Structure 1
């Protein structure tokens, strides 16, 4: 997303809260701006507040406190059907008694468009999702992937500026799901529509999004682009939730500029980038990605000792589970190429990493 889009806030959540029982806040003081034309994903575990935020934006839930604005206008009191927002759900929500073309025509008929306009727009929408030949079929005569394409076409047929997607690919098998991720991403790039997407699948979020808002316990933990979230998590929750991550526990022994010296609970002292680790004496969690770990003599002078516990062949890489500093769940991804010697279970080897690839985070 460009800086211009970030400045041009199309969707705004200002101090938004949501409680269902008047006591527990499901969404806590949410402030979030979404740029025009942006693809923003709300990512988090079940119960983190992401779907509630989407439902408040759609108008199916009402904010307990705060304002939601669309293109500068407050929409808190505008009913869902008057917000002009396209919606795509996991269960497709197609009318079973209508043909595909009739399903697509429905939102246009509600808006009282002429028959000629409806026919043109339905044809264009079917073309968009490569389903032109299926207009006369009923939803039950389509596969899951085809039904999801039609649900997507129906959300786009009236040319909304904002489309909301709630776990739209959750019911599809892995291969089709991955294919549809690219289709939706390319459709977004072509149309320039603003998309707010909800998922608990972090690889899906990384693949599709301009920015990702990582939710936990009703609060955005970090809001950034996919590469920043993966490479520079700001806290232990984000590090654990986005991608695979090794964690080693210790205490801060010293702070040296932007780095910290950490005394591991079950091992020697190591140096790490001080991100969110508190002061001297505070407990911390070290975060290091499996593909950033260096094995063997290249590990350097500050290397730790690692013992191979398990090897799993995964085609393009070998997943090596090791015991490091008392933790036997330390994962190293070894590329499957001739440059890397094959390790054996039980073998000991030095392991290390570039200091700045290891991040000292909160101990939570």
Structure 2
């Protein structure tokens, strides 16, 4: 799949890149991907989808079986990793345990023969940036996991690289600290304007941090777009299911025209949807619908724009503070989720109660049947 941004000013470019470890199966299949200077691009996908392999080829730790990789217009396929001038942040921090924090940060500068006074000022500058300005004399073992990860980020930035690669850097942190670090890395990126290529399997992390996200599956970029575009307009059933929560209904297309279609489900219910990725009348399709786009409709209060309305039975209610996660039986599906906003008044939902639920054509996407 061609995933290029379509211009000749790409800072990072993958050109027809393939990777095989055994000479037969391709882990990465014909990747064409352009990354702009200053962009924060996330490679997102499940384990084995090819995203980490792409990062390792860019870093120089793996070699492409076919194709070329360019950095700032220069082909880097035969350039040693340490000569690519790339900062790296890994999940396991990879700090030297026998060196202090300041010594860890000074190391990449000493290797580059930077003078001593410049090293001292740069180390202090990045320590202040990650809010560890007074911990330079500490040893890594004396720091918390979050502090160690901050040092790892600082070490990747201290020699002022034009490109920083991050491989699941927050995977070892607890939920609250992980969320805090997401915002910190995002703010550092905005402050410095450095190009970041980030790998994760966590879709909420990708949505929070990225300018664009490349969704990988089976060695192919399934969709490359902004977080908003991916969530609101998934191009296929895999992306719809992988990015955010998603109700999935399977049916057959009975009509299609002017960008909309009519779909008959196996239980006989008929739904009108936006035709995004269908094969035409008579073909199977997966309907994708976000739980927060489904409305519980008060009796005798039918919104004008609600083209799809069905009676549902409440099976389960989970109170989550800002909303009530409501599982209902509707359209032959017992796992259909509705996120009902907690407005205080509520709809007096109760297990076993029958309610009307509805959604618009625009919010219901007819996608491929896979």
TM class, shorter-chain normalised?
over 0.9
Indicate whether 1:224 and 2:225 are aligned. Answer: yes
Q: Whole-Å Cα distance in 2 between the matches of residues 302 and 26 of structure 1?
A: 42
- SS of 1:63's equivalent in the other structure is coil
Cα 1:157–1:5 change in 2 (3 A) is farther
Shift of 1:363: 0.7
Shift of 1:301: 6.2
Shift of 1:305: 1.8
Q: Give the unaligned 5+ runs of structure 1.
A: none
> Which residue matches 2:130?
129
Shift of 1:351: 1.4
Superposed counterparts of 1:39-58, under 5 Å: 39-58=40-59
> Which residue matches 1:235?
236
Moved more, 337-346 or 196-205: 337-346
> Which residue matches 1:93?
94
Indicate whether 1:191 and 2:192 are aligned. Answer: yes
Given that residues 318 and 333 in structure 1 are in contact (C-alpha distance below 8 angstroms), is that contact kept between their aligned partners in structure 2? yes
Q: Whole-Å Cα distance in 2 between the matches of residues 128 and 108 of structure 1?
A: 17
> Which residue matches 1:32?
33
Q: Whole-Å Cα distance in 1 between the matches of residues 117 and 250 of structure 2?
A: 66
Q: Give the unaligned 5+ runs of structure 2.
A: none
Given that residues 13 and 31 in structure 1 are in contact (C-alpha distance below 8 angstroms), is that contact kept between their aligned partners in structure 2? yes
Indicate whether 1:324 and 2:330 are aligned. Answer: yes
Moved more, 267-276 or 4-13: 4-13
TM (normalized to structure 2)? 0.95
What is the aligned-residue RMSD (CA, Å)?
1.3
Cα 1:7–1:203 change in 2 (3 A) is farther
Given that residues 307 and 359 in structure 2 are in contact (C-alpha distance below 8 angstroms), is that contact kept between their aligned partners in structure 1? no
TM (normalized to structure 1)? 0.97
Given that residues 307 and 361 in structure 2 are in contact (C-alpha distance below 8 angstroms), is that contact kept between their aligned partners in structure 1? no
Q: Whole-Å Cα distance in 2 between the matches of residues 86 and 156 of structure 1?
A: 6
More helix by percentage: 1
Superposed counterparts of 1:80-229, under 5 Å: 80-229=81-230
Indicate whether 1:268 and 2:274 are aligned. Answer: no
Superposed counterparts of 1:265-344, under 5 Å: 265-296=266-297, 297=299, 298=302, 300=306, 302-344=308-350
Given that residues 323 and 329 in structure 1 are in contact (C-alpha distance below 8 angstroms), is that contact kept between their aligned partners in structure 2? yes
Moved more, 338-347 or 44-53: 338-347
Given that residues 6 and 34 in structure 1 are in contact (C-alpha distance below 8 angstroms), is that contact kept between their aligned partners in structure 2? no
344, 347, 350: which one aligns with 2:356:
350
Q: Whole-Å Cα distance in 1 between the matches of residues 307 and 324 of structure 2?
A: 25
The aligned length equals 361
Given that residues 44 and 215 in structure 1 are in contact (C-alpha distance below 8 angstroms), is that contact kept between their aligned partners in structure 2? yes
